[in-house]
Amino acid sequence: VRRELVRRGWSIEIETTRLRGDASLLARQAARAGLDAVWVAGGDGTASEAVNGLVGSETALGILPVGTGNIWARQLRLPIYTITHPFRLREAAIAQVEGQVRAVDVGQLNDRYFLLWAGIGFGAQVTTELEPRSRRTKRLGALPYAIAAIMLAREFSGVRTNAVLDGRLVRGRTILILVSNIQMYAFFRVARQAQLDDGLLDVFVFKGLGLSYTIRHAAKILSGRHLQDPRVVQRQARQITVWTEEPMAVQVDGDPVGTTPVSLRVVPRAIRILVPPRAPLSLFSADGS
Protein backbone atom coordinates (compact mmCIF):
# COMPACT_ATOMS: atom_id res chain seq x y z
CA VAL A 1 0.00 0.00 0.00
CA ARG A 2 2.78 2.42 0.89
CA ARG A 3 4.57 1.80 -2.40
CA GLU A 4 1.36 2.38 -4.35
CA LEU A 5 0.53 5.61 -2.54
CA VAL A 6 4.09 6.92 -2.89
CA ARG A 7 3.94 6.11 -6.60
CA ARG A 8 0.83 8.29 -6.78
CA GLY A 9 2.55 11.24 -5.13
CA TRP A 10 1.75 10.70 -1.45
CA SER A 11 4.32 11.14 1.32
CA ILE A 12 3.69 8.37 3.86
CA GLU A 13 4.61 8.02 7.53
CA ILE A 14 3.61 4.83 9.36
CA GLU A 15 2.80 4.77 13.08
CA THR A 16 1.79 1.72 15.15
CA THR A 17 -0.89 1.73 17.84
CA ARG A 18 -0.12 -0.19 21.01
CA LEU A 19 -2.73 0.88 23.54
CA ARG A 20 -6.41 1.78 23.44
CA GLY A 21 -6.67 5.46 22.56
CA ASP A 22 -3.46 5.58 20.52
CA ALA A 23 -5.36 5.91 17.23
CA SER A 24 -7.22 8.98 18.53
CA LEU A 25 -3.98 10.57 19.71
CA LEU A 26 -2.15 9.91 16.45
CA ALA A 27 -5.08 11.14 14.35
CA ARG A 28 -5.32 14.33 16.42
CA GLN A 29 -1.60 14.96 15.96
CA ALA A 30 -1.95 14.44 12.20
CA ALA A 31 -4.87 16.88 12.05
CA ARG A 32 -2.95 19.53 13.98
CA ALA A 33 -0.05 19.09 11.57
CA GLY A 34 -2.41 19.75 8.67
CA LEU A 35 -1.91 16.39 6.96
CA ASP A 36 -4.22 15.51 4.07
CA ALA A 37 -5.36 12.13 5.40
CA VAL A 38 -5.05 9.52 8.11
CA TRP A 39 -5.23 5.94 6.84
CA VAL A 40 -6.29 3.40 9.46
CA ALA A 41 -5.12 -0.19 8.99
CA GLY A 42 -7.53 -1.99 11.29
CA GLY A 43 -11.20 -2.61 11.91
CA ASP A 44 -14.20 -0.54 12.89
CA GLY A 45 -12.99 0.01 16.45
CA THR A 46 -9.66 1.47 15.35
CA ALA A 47 -11.40 3.61 12.72
CA SER A 48 -13.79 4.89 15.38
CA GLU A 49 -10.86 5.86 17.59
CA ALA A 50 -9.33 7.81 14.72
CA VAL A 51 -12.64 9.58 14.11
CA ASN A 52 -12.44 10.96 17.65
CA GLY A 53 -9.13 12.58 16.76
CA LEU A 54 -10.28 13.98 13.41
CA VAL A 55 -13.70 15.54 14.13
CA GLY A 56 -13.73 19.19 13.16
CA SER A 57 -10.51 19.02 11.15
CA GLU A 58 -9.74 19.14 7.42
CA THR A 59 -7.79 15.86 7.58
CA ALA A 60 -9.68 13.04 5.83
CA LEU A 61 -10.12 9.46 7.05
CA GLY A 62 -9.14 6.50 4.88
CA ILE A 63 -9.52 2.85 5.86
CA LEU A 64 -7.40 -0.20 5.09
CA PRO A 65 -9.77 -2.95 6.29
CA VAL A 66 -7.93 -5.66 8.21
CA GLY A 67 -10.33 -5.97 11.16
CA THR A 68 -12.92 -8.56 12.13
CA GLY A 69 -16.18 -7.09 10.85
CA ASN A 70 -14.98 -4.24 8.61
CA ILE A 71 -18.53 -2.90 8.44
CA TRP A 72 -17.46 0.62 7.46
CA ALA A 73 -15.44 -0.76 4.55
CA ARG A 74 -18.32 -3.02 3.50
CA GLN A 75 -20.71 -0.06 3.63
CA LEU A 76 -18.44 1.79 1.20
CA ARG A 77 -18.06 -1.36 -0.96
CA LEU A 78 -14.32 -1.48 -0.49
CA PRO A 79 -12.32 -4.64 -1.23
CA ILE A 80 -11.75 -6.54 2.03
CA TYR A 81 -8.36 -8.02 2.88
CA THR A 82 -8.20 -11.76 3.57
CA ILE A 83 -5.28 -14.15 3.89
CA THR A 84 -6.20 -15.65 0.53
CA HIS A 85 -6.66 -12.22 -1.11
CA PRO A 86 -3.93 -9.99 0.37
CA PHE A 87 -3.80 -7.61 -2.60
CA ARG A 88 -7.31 -6.40 -1.85
CA LEU A 89 -5.71 -4.06 0.68
CA ARG A 90 -3.88 -2.28 -2.12
CA GLU A 91 -7.08 -2.25 -4.17
CA ALA A 92 -8.94 -0.63 -1.25
CA ALA A 93 -6.33 2.13 -1.05
CA ILE A 94 -6.45 2.76 -4.80
CA ALA A 95 -10.26 2.92 -4.74
CA GLN A 96 -10.23 5.64 -2.09
CA VAL A 97 -7.48 7.64 -3.79
CA GLU A 98 -9.47 7.56 -7.04
CA GLY A 99 -12.69 8.59 -5.29
CA GLN A 100 -13.85 11.76 -3.56
CA VAL A 101 -13.44 13.49 -0.23
CA ARG A 102 -16.82 14.08 1.43
CA ALA A 103 -17.90 15.67 4.70
CA VAL A 104 -20.17 13.34 6.68
CA ASP A 105 -22.05 13.35 9.97
CA VAL A 106 -21.01 11.65 13.17
CA GLY A 107 -23.02 10.76 16.23
CA GLN A 108 -22.02 11.80 19.73
CA LEU A 109 -22.67 10.03 23.03
CA ASN A 110 -21.30 12.06 25.94
CA ASP A 111 -17.74 12.93 24.85
CA ARG A 112 -17.43 9.98 22.43
CA TYR A 113 -18.06 10.35 18.69
CA PHE A 114 -19.20 7.44 16.55
CA LEU A 115 -19.15 6.91 12.80
CA LEU A 116 -21.33 3.81 12.48
CA TRP A 117 -23.88 3.42 15.26
CA ALA A 118 -24.74 3.29 18.93
CA GLY A 119 -26.57 0.26 20.29
CA ILE A 120 -28.53 -0.11 23.52
CA GLY A 121 -29.73 -3.44 24.87
CA PHE A 122 -29.29 -6.89 23.37
CA GLY A 123 -26.45 -6.30 20.91
CA ALA A 124 -24.60 -4.05 23.34
CA GLN A 125 -24.84 -6.72 26.05
CA VAL A 126 -23.24 -9.26 23.70
CA THR A 127 -20.48 -6.76 22.93
CA THR A 128 -19.94 -6.03 26.63
CA GLU A 129 -19.50 -9.73 27.38
CA LEU A 130 -16.92 -10.22 24.61
CA GLU A 131 -14.94 -6.99 24.34
CA PRO A 132 -12.12 -6.31 24.53
CA ARG A 133 -11.06 -9.56 22.87
CA SER A 134 -7.61 -11.06 22.62
CA ARG A 135 -5.86 -11.24 19.25
CA ARG A 136 -6.32 -15.02 19.34
CA THR A 137 -10.08 -14.73 19.84
CA LYS A 138 -10.34 -12.16 17.05
CA ARG A 139 -9.05 -14.77 14.62
CA LEU A 140 -12.35 -16.62 15.12
CA GLY A 141 -14.17 -13.77 13.40
CA ALA A 142 -17.89 -13.41 14.12
CA LEU A 143 -18.30 -16.91 15.60
CA PRO A 144 -17.92 -15.85 19.28
CA TYR A 145 -20.56 -13.15 18.73
CA ALA A 146 -22.99 -15.67 17.25
CA ILE A 147 -22.52 -18.07 20.16
CA ALA A 148 -22.85 -15.31 22.77
CA ALA A 149 -25.98 -13.96 21.05
CA ILE A 150 -27.66 -17.37 21.10
CA MET A 151 -26.84 -17.86 24.77
CA LEU A 152 -28.07 -14.38 25.73
CA ALA A 153 -31.27 -14.65 23.68
CA ARG A 154 -32.41 -17.56 25.86
CA GLU A 155 -32.51 -15.38 28.97
CA PHE A 156 -32.83 -11.76 27.79
CA SER A 157 -36.37 -10.51 28.37
CA GLY A 158 -36.01 -6.85 27.48
CA VAL A 159 -36.31 -3.81 29.73
CA ARG A 160 -38.97 -1.13 30.17
CA THR A 161 -37.66 1.85 28.26
CA ASN A 162 -38.38 5.52 27.67
CA ALA A 163 -36.82 7.04 24.56
CA VAL A 164 -37.26 10.69 23.58
CA LEU A 165 -36.57 11.29 19.90
CA ASP A 166 -36.53 15.02 19.11
CA GLY A 167 -39.14 15.56 21.81
CA ARG A 168 -41.35 12.58 20.90
CA LEU A 169 -41.66 9.88 23.57
CA VAL A 170 -41.50 6.18 22.73
CA ARG A 171 -42.27 3.83 25.62
CA GLY A 172 -42.41 0.09 26.06
CA ARG A 173 -40.49 -3.05 26.86
CA THR A 174 -37.48 -3.02 24.57
CA ILE A 175 -34.97 -5.60 23.37
CA LEU A 176 -32.73 -3.33 21.32
CA ILE A 177 -32.40 0.34 20.40
CA LEU A 178 -30.21 1.12 17.40
CA VAL A 179 -29.09 4.67 16.65
CA SER A 180 -27.42 4.46 13.25
CA ASN A 181 -25.42 6.80 11.06
CA ILE A 182 -25.04 4.22 8.28
CA GLN A 183 -27.31 1.74 6.52
CA MET A 184 -25.67 -1.47 7.75
CA TYR A 185 -25.88 -2.98 11.23
CA ALA A 186 -23.53 -5.93 11.61
CA PHE A 187 -23.73 -7.51 8.15
CA PHE A 188 -27.33 -6.50 7.40
CA ARG A 189 -28.87 -3.44 5.75
CA VAL A 190 -31.13 -2.35 8.60
CA ALA A 191 -31.31 1.45 8.22
CA ARG A 192 -32.10 1.54 4.51
CA GLN A 193 -32.90 5.25 4.42
CA ALA A 194 -29.83 6.39 6.37
CA GLN A 195 -27.57 8.93 4.71
CA LEU A 196 -24.17 9.97 5.94
CA ASP A 197 -24.66 13.69 5.40
CA ASP A 198 -28.35 14.42 6.07
CA GLY A 199 -27.88 15.79 9.60
CA LEU A 200 -30.00 12.98 11.06
CA LEU A 201 -29.55 9.71 12.92
CA ASP A 202 -31.81 6.76 12.10
CA VAL A 203 -33.34 5.27 15.24
CA PHE A 204 -34.91 1.82 15.59
CA VAL A 205 -36.65 0.68 18.76
CA PHE A 206 -37.21 -3.09 18.75
CA LYS A 207 -39.94 -3.84 21.25
CA GLY A 208 -40.73 -7.20 22.77
CA LEU A 209 -40.50 -9.64 25.63
CA GLY A 210 -38.32 -12.71 25.71
CA LEU A 211 -36.83 -15.23 23.31
CA SER A 212 -39.71 -15.42 20.83
CA TYR A 213 -39.55 -11.70 20.08
CA THR A 214 -35.76 -11.75 19.79
CA ILE A 215 -35.98 -14.55 17.22
CA ARG A 216 -38.79 -12.76 15.39
CA HIS A 217 -36.84 -9.52 15.12
CA ALA A 218 -33.71 -11.36 13.95
CA ALA A 219 -35.67 -13.21 11.26
CA LYS A 220 -37.30 -10.03 9.98
CA ILE A 221 -33.98 -8.19 9.85
CA LEU A 222 -32.54 -11.07 7.82
CA SER A 223 -35.44 -10.90 5.37
CA GLY A 224 -35.61 -7.10 5.29
CA ARG A 225 -39.19 -7.07 6.63
CA HIS A 226 -38.45 -5.36 9.95
CA LEU A 227 -39.65 -2.00 8.61
CA GLN A 228 -43.20 -3.37 8.32
CA ASP A 229 -43.23 -4.80 11.86
CA PRO A 230 -45.53 -2.87 14.24
CA ARG A 231 -43.18 -3.77 17.11
CA VAL A 232 -40.36 -1.84 15.45
CA VAL A 233 -40.48 1.94 15.86
CA GLN A 234 -38.46 3.77 13.22
CA ARG A 235 -37.68 7.48 13.41
CA GLN A 236 -35.07 9.97 12.24
CA ALA A 237 -33.84 12.34 14.91
CA ARG A 238 -31.16 14.85 15.80
CA GLN A 239 -31.25 14.31 19.57
CA ILE A 240 -32.07 11.11 21.45
CA THR A 241 -32.36 10.47 25.18
CA VAL A 242 -32.89 6.98 26.61
CA TRP A 243 -33.53 5.94 30.18
CA THR A 244 -34.59 2.51 31.39
CA GLU A 245 -36.16 0.79 34.38
CA GLU A 246 -33.00 -1.30 34.75
CA PRO A 247 -29.55 -0.39 33.36
CA MET A 248 -29.06 -1.57 29.78
CA ALA A 249 -25.65 -2.03 28.16
CA VAL A 250 -24.53 0.58 25.60
CA GLN A 251 -21.96 0.29 22.80
CA VAL A 252 -20.69 2.61 20.10
CA ASP A 253 -18.99 1.29 16.96
CA GLY A 254 -18.56 -2.08 18.67
CA ASP A 255 -16.97 -0.79 21.89
CA PRO A 256 -18.77 -1.02 25.28
CA VAL A 257 -19.30 2.43 26.84
CA GLY A 258 -21.35 1.74 29.98
CA THR A 259 -25.08 1.61 30.61
CA THR A 260 -28.23 3.72 30.37
CA PRO A 261 -29.29 6.49 30.83
CA VAL A 262 -27.69 8.09 27.77
CA SER A 263 -28.10 11.14 25.56
CA LEU A 264 -27.03 11.18 21.93
CA ARG A 265 -26.97 13.75 19.16
CA VAL A 266 -25.85 14.15 15.57
CA VAL A 267 -22.95 16.42 14.66
CA PRO A 268 -23.54 17.36 11.00
CA ARG A 269 -20.70 16.99 8.49
CA ALA A 270 -18.11 16.89 11.23
CA ILE A 271 -15.51 14.70 9.53
CA ARG A 272 -14.08 14.27 6.03
CA ILE A 273 -13.78 10.78 4.56
CA LEU A 274 -12.27 9.21 1.46
CA VAL A 275 -15.13 7.75 -0.58
CA PRO A 276 -14.47 5.20 -3.36
CA PRO A 277 -16.29 5.50 -6.70
CA ARG A 278 -18.28 2.31 -6.01
CA ALA A 279 -19.81 3.59 -2.75
CA PRO A 280 -23.64 3.49 -2.89
CA LEU A 281 -25.10 6.79 -4.06
CA SER A 282 -27.94 6.30 -1.57
CA LEU A 283 -25.48 7.00 1.27
CA PHE A 284 -25.34 10.68 0.36
CA SER A 285 -27.86 13.47 -0.04
CA ALA A 286 -28.23 15.30 -3.34
CA ASP A 287 -26.44 18.38 -1.99
CA GLY A 288 -23.64 16.41 -0.30
CA SER A 289 -20.12 17.65 -0.87
Which bin fits 184, alpha (ψ -120 to 50), beta or left (φ > 0)? beta
pLDDT value of residue 274: 98
Tens of pLDDT, residue by residue over 124-133, are 877 776 666 5
Average pLDDT over residues 244-266: 95
Tens digits of per-residue pLDDT, 57-81?
Answer: 999 999 999 998 899 999 999 999 9
Q: Is the pLDDT of residue 137 over 60?
A: no
pLDDT at 24 over 80: yes
Task: Name every residue whose Cβ is closer than 8 Å to that of residue 267 and which is 6 or more positions away in sequence.
Answer: 55, 105, 106, 107, 108, 113
pTM of the model: 0.88
Q: Is the per-residue pLDDT at 215 higher than 80?
A: no
Q: Would you place residue 275 in the very low, low, confident or very high pLDDT band (cuts 50, 70, 90)?
A: very high
> Which domains can be identified in the chain, with CATH numbers?
2-105+269-283 (3.40.50.10330), 112-267 (2.60.200.40)
